């Protein structure tokens, strides 16, 4: 490759990087806090926050936006599921874990620092629940759950994606979130909702008692015993085998060289 | 009597002591083989200390075992490992320092009886020259060897069905057999909810059969795209597939179900082993991963009681592929 073509290629790469940086640097949709400093009645505050932050994707009456179309300021593709009948359970989960509001429709909602404060979350939750029907925020009692039964239920229903100690992982089309930061209420909510690509588990599949057991196991798995040293990420035989082959085998080979060194000299 | 006996014993001791001293003197008289060198007191001390430390670790192993500490296994491993490592270090260090090394070269002896050896070679050559049907004998010997080898290998056939794929076509499902859950309770069509998945087994049949377990999901009827000939296999949108992946035979234990279908990946049955991904809406076609053929589908019907029953047998043999897998459908 000639020097001129190299220079040209470098220039193109630099320009591409610059363009990509600018594209990424565009601000996310952000949120709008209610005017009036939040001194309104709860439902009033909820309605104002909903109208400002949620309605472009979920519809003014929570009827959802099924066809993608461009709305509002910025390049936001507004699209989202209907919220009528989701009750308090779903908005409480999505807002308290910072999963909503989402930057772009269709991307995976991930846990982050919540953008609303506790009073605002309660207000939006109450307002969304007022669309009609739906479950209340669950109140799991993991202290009453059997740990060993919880582990076998977790293995059966959850570990296929979340891994046996709740480390998370990948499935086709989604990142599976780790469960280390989830509270008992959030776990109970997620099981009933089935966020993003997760299936939902109705009470006929996992009863409230079984859910208590599963949560008891997840809470325990947050601080595994790790007798004797590092947990190596708690994700099983692959990293353990890597340590055995890449560390122990190298040390052994080195020792052999030390012992055999005398024979060759 | 006693006294003389005692005296003769003393004499014996004296004689043995003299013999011992003479022996030592004789040994001293011999030419030394190993080159004389000064002792290395420091190195000997180090090795002794290492060995004593190894002994201490081994003793510690016993102590830890007796006291039954927390994390017992790890402490035992630590003690035993340290002890073995210290012994190894002692041996290596001793080998490097004060254990003497000698390189000895032994001459290869000359042939003692060259003429006789040639005669023996000649006898060998002439004996074989007398054989008239050499090729026949070699052939017969080869036949004996090969046949014996085959005879030893053949019993390995009892490890499994050999060249017999008939059992791979067996399925416990047949028309009108009910679908039951793990506790044996029949599934009703109304039990099957959207957005979740169920495992079903054949009623009154052995559940460990490869083709027994099903995964059952409900698909919205307007989203169904059944292949031709299977239009009536999914009553009310309820579809049933074999739970055994067609790639490596793992359980298809994951159901990818979008919460908001218009903007998220499509529903799919996923095998956690190698991420083979099947479409439940169109007869179980492979949409991702290493599986080579569709997930076998079981036709369903809803009886007058509202319970789910099989309406026939699978669309294809269940489990990993084998030769002839596409030639016919399974039989009950």
Distance CA B168, CA B317 (A): 7
Residue A17 pLDDT level (bands cut at 50, 70, 90): low
Of A41 and B25, the structure prediction assigns the larger pLDDT to: A41
Nearest CA in chain B to A67: B262
Chain A residue with the nearest C-alpha to that of B99: A262
Taking the C-alpha atoms of residue B203 and residue B186, their distance in angstroms, rounded to an integer, is 8
The three-point CA angle B223-A205-A105 to 5° equals 45
Distance of CA B7 to the CA centre of its chain: 74
DSSP conformation letters of B79-105? HHHHHHHHHHHHHHHHHHTTS------
- A173 contacts B256? CB cut-off 8 A: yes
Helix (H, G, I), strand (E, B) or coil at A199: coil
B27 burial level (CB within 10 Å; 0-12, 13-18, 19+): exposed
Report the gap between the CA of A199 and the closest CA in chain B (Å).
5
Q: What is the mean pLDDT of residues A150-171?
A: 90
Do the chains contact at A205 and B196, CB–CB below 8 Å?
yes
Averaged pLDDT score across all residues of chain B: 89
Inter-residue contact A215 to A184 (CB < 8 Å): yes
Band (pLDDT 50/70/90 cuts) for residue B295 is very high
Which residues make beta-bridge pairs with B202?
Answer: B179
User: Is beta strand B268-270 parallel, antiparallel or unpaired with respect to B308-310?
Assistant: unpaired
**Per-residue pLDDT for B215 more than 50?**
yes
Mean pLDDT of B168-178: 93
Q: What is the DSSP letter of B36?
A: P
User: A237 in contact with B at a CB cutoff of 8 Å?
Assistant: no
Residue B106, token pair as written in the block: 């032994």
Q: Compare all CA atoms of chain A with the CA of B181 and give the residue at the minimum distance.
A: A205
CB of A59 within 8 Å of any CB in chain B? no
Residues in chain A closer than 8 A to B253 (CB atoms): 160
The 10s digit of each residue's pLDDT in B179-201 is: 999 899 999 999 999 999 999 99
In this complex, which of B73, B92, B253 lies closest to A259 when CB atoms are compared? B92
| Interface contact A172-B263, CB threshold 8 A | no
Q: Which domains does chain A have, with CATH numbers?
A: 30-129 (1.10.760), 142-221 (1.10.760.10)
Residue whose pair of structure tokens reads 């932050």 in the numeric block: A53
Q: Is the dihedral of CA A170, A174, A178, A184 positive or negative?
A: negative
Do A194 and B259 count as a contact with CB atoms less than 8 A apart? yes
Determine how many CB atoms are found less than 10 A away from the CB of residue B143.
Answer: 10
Nearest CA in chain A to B275: A172
Q: Is the pLDDT of residue A231 over 90?
A: no
Q: Report yes or no: A238 at the B interface, CB cutoff 8 Å.
A: no
Lowest mean pLDDT among A81-90, A161-170, A253-262, B227-236: A253-262
For residues A133 and A122, give the distance between their C-alpha atoms in angstroms, rounded to a whole number.
Answer: 17
Helix, strand or coil, per DSSP, at residue A14 = helix
Taking only the tens place, the pLDDT of each residue in A96-155 is 999 998 888 888 999 999 989 899 999 999 999 999 888 999 999 998 889 999 999 999
Helix ranges, A70-181 (H): 89-96, 118-129, 147-157, 159-162
Q: Radius of gyration (Cα) for chain B, nearest Å?
A: 41
Cis peptide leading into residue B208 (ω within 30°): no
Closest Cβ–Cβ partner in B73, B95, B258 for A262: B95
How close, in Å, is residue A34 to chain B by CA atoms? 28
Residue A87 CB partners (closer than 8 Å, separation 6+): A129, A133, A134, A135, A136
Q: How far is A70 from chain B (nearest CA, A)?
A: 14
CATH superfamily of the domain spanning B169-310? Rieske [2Fe-2S] iron-sulphur domain (2.102.10.10)
Q: For the residues B34-43, what does the mean pLDDT come to?
A: 78
> B110: pLDDT confidence band, cut at 50, 70 and 90?
confident
Tell me which of A211 and A65 has the higher pLDDT. A211
Q: Look up the ipTM and state it.
A: 0.74
Task: Say how far apart CA B288 and CA A160 lie, in whole Å.
Answer: 18
Q: Which tokens in the block code for residue B260? A: 């908001």
Nearest C-alpha of chain A: how many angstroms from B167? Answer: 29
Mean pLDDT over A196-203 rounds to: 93
- The pLDDT mean for chain A works out to 83
> Which residue in chain A is spatially nearest to B261 when comparing CA positions?
A81
Answer whether A258 sits within 8 Å of B275, measured CB to CB: no
CB of A173 within 8 Å of a chain B CB? The answer is yes
Q: Please judge whether A161 and B257 are an interchain contact, meaning their C-beta atoms are less than 8 angstroms apart.
A: no
Task: Summarize pLDDT for B67-93 with one digit per residue, the tens.
Answer: 988 878 889 999 999 999 999 999 988
Question: Residues with Cβ < 8 Å from A259, sequence gap 6 or more?
Answer: B92, B95
Residue B202 CB partners (closer than 8 Å, separation 6+) = B172, B173, B177, B178, B179, B180, B212, B310
For chain A, state the CA radius of gyration.
25
Report chain A residues whose CB lies below 8 A from the CB of B255.
199
Q: Are B233 and B300 in contact (CB under 8 A)?
A: yes
Full-model pTM: 0.69
Three-state DSSP state, A112: coil
Give residue limits of the domains in chain B. Answer: 39-100, 169-310
Query: In chain B, what residues touch A199 (CB-CB under 8 Å)?
Result: 195-197, 255-257
Q: Is the pLDDT of residue B59 over 90?
A: yes
Q: Are β-strands A65-70 and B277-279 bridged in parallel, bridged antiparallel, or unpaired?
A: unpaired
């Amino acid at each position: 490759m000639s020097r001129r073509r190299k220079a040209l290629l470098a220039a193109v790469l630099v320009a591409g990087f610059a363009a990509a940086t600018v594209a990424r640097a565009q601000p996310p949709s952000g949120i709008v806090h209610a005017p009036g400093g939040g001194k309104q009645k709860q439902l009033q505050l909820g309605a104002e926050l909903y109208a400002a932050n949620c309605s472009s994707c979920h519809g003014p009456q929570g009827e959802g936006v099924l066809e993608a179309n461009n709305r509002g300021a910025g390049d936001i593709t507004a699209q989202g599921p209907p919220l009528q009948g989701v009750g308090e359970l779903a908005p409480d989960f999505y807002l308290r874990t910072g999963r909503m509001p989402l930057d772009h429709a269709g991307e995976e909602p991930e846990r982050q620092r919540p953008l609303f404060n506790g009073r605002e979350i309660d207000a939006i939750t109450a307002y969304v629940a007022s669309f009609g029907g739906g479950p209340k925020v669950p109140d799991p009692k993991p202290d009453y759950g059997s740990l060993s039964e919880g582990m076998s239920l977790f293995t059966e229903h959850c570990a296929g994606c979340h891994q046996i100690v709740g480390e998370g992982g990948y499935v086709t089309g989604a990142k599976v979130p780790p469960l280390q930061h989830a509270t008992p209420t959030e776990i109970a909510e997620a099981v009933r909702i089935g966020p993003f690509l997760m299936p939902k588990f109705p009470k006929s599949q996992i009863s409230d008692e079984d859910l208590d057991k599963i949560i008891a196991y997840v809470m325990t798995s947050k601080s595994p015993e790790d007798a004797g040293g590092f947990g190596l990420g708690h994700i099983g035989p692959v990293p353990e085998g890597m340590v055995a082959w890449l560390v122990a085998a190298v040390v052994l080979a080195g020792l052999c060289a030390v012992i055999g060194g005398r024979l060759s000299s | 009597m006693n006294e003389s006996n005692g005296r003769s014993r003393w004499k014996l001791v004296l004689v043995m002591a003299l013999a011992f001293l003479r022996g030592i003197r004789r040994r001293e008289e011999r030419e030394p083989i190993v080159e004389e060198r000064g002792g290395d007191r420091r190195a000997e001390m180090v090795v002794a200390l290492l060995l004593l430390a190894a002994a201490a670790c081994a003793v510690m192993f016993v102590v830890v075992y007796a006291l039954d500490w927390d994390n017992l296994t790890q402490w035992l491993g630590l003690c035993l490992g340290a002890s073995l490592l210290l012994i190894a270090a002692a041996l290596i260090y001793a080998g490097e320092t004060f254990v003497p090394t000698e390189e000895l070269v032994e001459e290869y002896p000359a042939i003692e009886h060259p003429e006789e050896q040639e005669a023996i070679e000649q006898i060998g050559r002439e004996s074989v020259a007398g054989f008239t049907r050499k090729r026949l004998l070699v052939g017969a010997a080869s036949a004996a060897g090969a046949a014996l080898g085959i005879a030893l290998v053949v019993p390995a056939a009892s490890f499994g069905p050999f060249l017999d794929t008939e059992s791979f076509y067996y399925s416990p499902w047949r028309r009108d057999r009910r679908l039951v859950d793990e506790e044996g309770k029949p599934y009703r069509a109304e039990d099957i909810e959207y957005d979740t998945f169920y495992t079903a087994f054949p009623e009154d049949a052995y559940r460990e059969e490869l083709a027994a377990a099903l995964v059952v999901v409900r698909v919205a009827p307007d989203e169904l795209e059944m292949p031709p000939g299977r239009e009536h296999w999914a009553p009310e949108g309820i579809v049933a597939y074999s739970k055994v992946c067609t790639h490596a035979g793992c359980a298809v234990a994951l159901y990818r179900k979008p919460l908001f279908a218009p903007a998220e990946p499509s529903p799919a049955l996923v095998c956690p082993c190698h991420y083979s991904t099947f479409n439940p809406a169109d007869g179980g076609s492979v949409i991702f991963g290493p599986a080579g053929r569709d997930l076998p589908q079981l036709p369903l019907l809803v009886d007058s009681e509202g319970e789910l029953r099989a309406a026939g047998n699978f669309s294809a043999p269940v489990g990993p592929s084998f030769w002839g897998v596409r030639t016919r459908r399974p039989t009950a």
